[in-house]
Amino acid sequence: MALSKFCEYFDLKEGFKAFVIIMLMFRLLSFAAVPGIIFPMFDYRNEFENFQVGLLFVIAYAVWNFGSTITLIIALRGLYKNDAGLLFPNLVVMPMEIILTVVSGIVLPLGAGIPLFALYLLVSFVHIYHFMCVYSLYKKFKREETVTPANARNLINSV
């Protein structure tokens, strides 16, 4: 029911729902992974300041991930409507998110001696794959937008 309302609000059709569900589930996985990776790095009894830093980091990442999820929704809408302009915000956010994911989910836990980075490695690869898909779609749409019926005649005459 909620997904139907969501797809209706963002003007997504039935065949597009599965893709939306998969991408949003990966987003939920990313939300859940951050506290599970960051909080075990700290000993709460002895390092209350580190706990506060970890909590602030988790809150900042949650806000960032929420904003990135919104850009994902915009990109999905652009993908559905064949509008390359709606894909562009996602192209800006995703490289920064890949860097943030690698640093927070892989480098920091390894530096703290906690080898619980496998889940985050999966999330990193999902982000990289997502970025590559959106970038290739953006290039495809930009290439198709350059050939319009108005300028197609000029392109044919120049050959």
Task: Check residue 26 and give its pLDDT.
Answer: 67
User: Which residues constitute the domain of residue 121?
Assistant: 2-144
pTM for the model stands at 0.46
pLDDT digits (tens, 9 = 90+) for 94-130: 676 667 666 666 666 666 555 555 556 666 666 676 6
Task: Check residue 159 and give its pLDDT.
Answer: 44
Task: Check residue 155 and give its pLDDT.
Answer: 45
Residue 153 included in any domain = no
Question: Are 45 and 128 within 8 A, CB to CB?
Answer: no
Task: Check residue 62 and give its pLDDT.
Answer: 72
What gap in Å lies between CA 38 and CA 105, rounded to an integer? 8
Residue 155 included in any domain = no
Residue 110 included in any domain = yes
Residue 149 included in any domain = no
Task: Check residue 121 and give its pLDDT.
Answer: 64
Please choose, from the candidates 101, 134, 131, 133, the residue with its C-alpha nearest in 3D space to the C-alpha of residue 119. Answer: 101
Residue 115 included in any domain = yes
Low-confidence ranges of the chain (pLDDT < 50): 147, 151-152, 155-159
